[in-house]
Amino acid sequence: MNEASQIPLPVAPGFRLDGKRALVAGASSGIGLACAAALAQAGAHTVVAARSADRLAALVAALRAAGQSAEAMTLDVADVSASEAAIEAAGPFDVLVNSAGLARHGPATETTEADFDAVSALNFKGAYFLTRAVARGLLAAGRPGSLINVSSQMAHVGGIDRAVYAATKHAVEGFTKSMAIEWGKAGIRVNTVCPTFIRTALTQSTFDQPERRAWIEEKIKLGRVGEVEDIMGAVQFLASDASALVTGTALMIDGGWTAD
């Protein structure tokens, strides 16, 4: 027998999520919708959550028409008590992707207290308690899981007119690391993905400003803005066994922005 044929070869873990239940918050549009599609395409039963019942119904219909398994959950992440009750009733979830977020950009000298509170309530407080709620369900069931918060490159750098937004995303990175340490022995992994500027309906107004578009394209070393498809593979990776030893970290999807 050929000696080489006796060498045991390792088998790469796949990105498949068959048999897993996933929750995607902020799934009604943009990055959240793409994350929901990514998890469903990988075989997860995907619960899509957001405030808009009509948009969720349309998304569920589209996923099912593509042969995937999905259902809707009307959810306002900023309403902590209601979110916790809904997750407790519907869980446990093996995978969480929290894409719910809010941005109110402007000069720091003009930040209103109302804007500060609204952005913080969703991006920081809501994200914190949503992650905790899903983790509680896994801990009670004695199951491992993968919890993914959609952060931002602005969690690692500053940005023009983005003091409040960047502050909330820095906070997400902090609690993600701490939760990863706390729940690691239970097999619960907690990570973030940190996109650069991604082309969506919500970001189009920024791309429509020539000076801002030039600033963005100069910062992104790959020379192009991001598309929602750029997020999908990263989310599949972190949700799956392919990233079984990855926790407490940030996966940069920034085209090299933060490499400086």
**What is the residue extent of each domain of the chain?**
16-259
Helix axes 30-41 and 229-239, enclosed angle (nearest 10)? 50
Q: What is the pLDDT of residue 2?
A: 64
Catalytic residue among 15, 165, 197, 257: 165
Specify the CATH number for 16-259; select among 3.30.200.20, 1.10.3720.10, 3.40.50.300, 3.40.50.720. 3.40.50.720
87 band by pLDDT with thresholds 50, 70 and 90: very high
Q: How far is 238 from 15, CA to CA, in rounded Å?
A: 9
Question: How much is the pTM?
Answer: 0.93
State the burial class of residue 110 (Cβ atoms within 10 Å of its Cβ: 0-12, 13-18, 19+): exposed
Percentage of residues in the chain having pLDDT higher than 90: 85
- Bridge partners, 25 (sequence order): 49, 98
Known catalytic membership, residue 165: yes
Q: What is the pLDDT of residue 91?
A: 87
149 band by pLDDT with thresholds 50, 70 and 90: very high
| φ/ψ of residue 82, rounded to 5 | -65, -40
Judge whether 94 and 145 are in contact, CB under 8 Å.
yes
Residue 41 one-letter amino acid: Q
What is the 3 state secondary structure string of 161-223? CCHHHHHHHHHHHHHHHHHHHHHHHHCEEEEEEEECCECCCCCHHHHCCHHHHHHHHHHCCCC
21 band by pLDDT with thresholds 50, 70 and 90: very high
pLDDT tens digits for 206-257? Answer: 888 888 888 888 899 998 889 999 999 999 999 999 999 999 999 999 999 9
pLDDT tens digits for 161-175? Answer: 999 999 999 999 999
